[in-house]
Amino acid sequence: MDRKVLIRKVIVYAVYILLLTSFQVTFPRAISFRGQIADLMFVFVVMTGYFFGFADGAVVGLITGLFRDYFAGPAFIGLDGKTARTVGIGMLVLFLAAAVSSSFFTRRMHRNLTFAFLATAACTLIYKISGHIIASLWTSATSSNSYGLSIGTIITDSILPQLMLNLIITVPMIFLLRFAGPYKKGVNPYLDKEEIGGNTWLTI
């Protein structure tokens, strides 16, 4: 890889990771609805994986996840009944999000723009549904209380608001990656030509 390309890529990713992560944990209520927060980190990783491939998405996902763990690493009730903070869940979540998005119909749809929204929607749904399943199982294993959230509440107060917020912030995220992203012209030239399909997604 060309040295200039590499330097630009590293700087752009570093700046975006720091800014988006910091913004989300400092002003979480700036973009929120029904108690849910627009997940800038998550959407950034999903879009990076979708547009620029698995390698970029995985690295960005792992680093962003590390920052997510540092700032707001989830605390869970352990088997000993004590609540403790965990390390690595953010990294795992964002790495898997990048892995899913980087293979989300990318060959068939050539990473085109419309499917970027579907990629965000699919990854958000997978994250929220699996998150609630794991949280529910963990709660019943470690606590005498039930999880308490009905399926209806999960859909109306958790999944749908989160889905809406993430889809909204996908728009600026696409512009960011397209016009001020890690690659000139918004395309990773090192991906298979078949996957980027003659830069079809550039037609914004």
- Of 6, 10, 18, 171, which one interacts with other proteins (CB under 8 A)? 18
- Phi, psi for residue 103 in degrees, rounded to 5: -115, 15
- Our CA dihedral for 88, 91, 94, 96, rounded to 10 degrees, sits at -80
Number of residues that bind other proteins (CB under 8 A): 59
Greatest CA separation found in the chain?
58
99 binds other proteins (CB under 8 A): yes
Q: By CB under 8 A, which span of 5-13, 72-80, 167-175, 182-190 interacts with other proteins?
A: 72-80
Q: By CB under 8 A, which span of 30-38, 106-114, 170-178, 196-204 interacts with other proteins?
A: 30-38
Q: How far is the CB of 2 from other proteins (least distance, A)?
A: 25
Distance CA 153, CA 80 (A): 29
Distance CA 196, CA 103 (A): 12
Q: How far is the CB of 203 from other proteins (least distance, A)?
A: 31
Q: Which of residues 38-57 bind other proteins (CB under 8 A)?
A: 39, 41-42
CB atoms within 10 A of CB 199: 15
Residue 181 three-state SS: coil
Site string for other proteins, 118-147 (x = CB under 8 A): -------------x---x---x-----x-x
